Amino acid sequence: MATLADVLAERTAEAASELVEPISNNRLRCHACGHLCPIPDGAVGVCKVRFNRGGTLMVPWGYVGALQCDPIEKKPFFHARPGALAFSFGMLGCDLHCSYCQNWVTSQALRDPQAVAPPIDVEPTSLVEEAVRLNARVVVSTYNEPLITSEWAVGIFKEARAAGLMTAYVSNGNGTPRVLEYIRPWIDLYKVDLKSFNDRHYRQLGGRLQPILDTIRALHAMSIWVEIVTLLIPGFNNSDEEISELTSFLAGVSPDIPWHVTAFHKDYRMSDPENTTPDMLMRAAEIGQKNGLRYVYAGNIPGQVGDLEHTRCHQCRALLVERYGYFIQSYRLTPEGTCPECHTSVPGRWGRAFEGQIASMPFLPGRRRLRLF
């Protein structure tokens, strides 16, 4: 019987030349993520989805492992088209192996036999046609690590841009200079999970801290709109010292980068820590604000985090976007993206007007229209 790896090996294309470096004797170095794997002929990279076949790097192409319509607030982006529908797709596989992953069915499909997520064959054009039909404003590569499947994301993003849509990554940020240059012409928004500010913790998850910090700096320098999420896990990353270092770093890149500190709930293989409480989130948010971040949000516990779901003008504190969970309750930014009270410019990728909200909860798109059956 064919394994999932066999099935996926049939759904591949040659890697983009920008992401491959020949080494010697058919060995290749992959530049799609910060692991920079040297891959001998016949071997796979750490992510298990990119592999060397006879001196050619083969990469995922032509399928999705997950497809869903999300409110953009779920990604989360709070400073990009509030209320927009985010047409979200993912492939399979990841370059990290976080034990608390909330997308483990897709991200760990090649490592964990319990993660069963069969691929669904699809063309970029039919994905984008469905996104347009549903009035989505953004197409998002998410659910697995998008960097490791960047060729497929760019294939879809080219169609999405041609249809007038924005594009986004929801990523662990384990990038490289080459992959960021490769996606740069085709991407508008980028969410990075900054999981910790401790390299030892990152190594437990299968990565390193430095490539993530370098990616955040590079994305900001490229004028790609960046928002950062830290899932606050009691006993793992929630010490005052670590949160202070993390938020000082972000404020040093730019005080205008929105930082979302979100609540952990027991998931996948991490069931030891207690769930994050509202008080823990508010304590971390206070540290971030003291360190200079102007837009700090607390997530995953709607209605219990005081003011920390809303966007306020950093200058006069006027209420600009009022939220409950993913639901937009009010929107007061001007068409120019400024505060209506004091006219301070509010950083982000705002529309000329709030266009309402199609959904404040995720839903599945029409599979028949996508010709997925």
Q: What residue ranges bind ligand SF4 (CB under 6 A)?
A: 30, 32-33, 35-37, 45-47, 50, 95, 148
Q: Which is nearer to ligand SF4, 112 or 341 (CB)?
A: 112
Query: Tokens 């007061």 label which residue?
Result: 332
Among candidates 203, 171, 39, which has minimal Cα distance to 107? 171
Handedness of CA 215, 218, 224, 225 (dihedral sign): positive
Quote the least distance from Cβ 88 to ligand SF4, whole Å. Answer: 21
Residue 174 corresponds to which amino acid? Answer: N
Among candidates 252, 186, 179, which has minimal Cα distance to 220? 252
Q: Which is nearer to ligand SF4, 46 or 228 (CB)?
A: 46
Task: Give the DSSP letter string of 44-71.
Answer: B-TTSS-EEETTEEEEE-SEESEEEEEE
Q: Which is nearer to ligand SF4, 36 or 132 (CB)?
A: 36
Measured at CB, which residue is nearest to ligand SF4? Answer: 45
Among candidates 115, 191, 106, 117, which has minimal Cα distance to 149? 106
Quote the least distance from Cβ 258 to ligand SF4, whole Å. Answer: 27
Phi-psi region of 143 (alpha: psi -120 to 50; beta: other; left: phi over 0): left
Quote the least distance from Cβ 36 to ligand SF4, whole Å. Answer: 5
Quote the least distance from Cβ 59 to ligand SF4, whole Å. Answer: 8
Q: Which is nearer to ligand SF4, 36 or 319 (CB)?
A: 36
Q: Which is nearer to ligand SF4, 50 or 191 (CB)?
A: 50
Residues 212, 223, 248: CA angle, nearest 5 degrees: 45
Quote the least distance from Cβ 15 to ligand SF4, whole Å. Answer: 9
Quote the least distance from Cβ 182 to ligand SF4, whole Å. Answer: 12
Rounded-to-integer distance, Cα 9 and Cα 58, Å: 8
Q: Which is nearer to ligand SF4, 89 or 295 (CB)?
A: 89
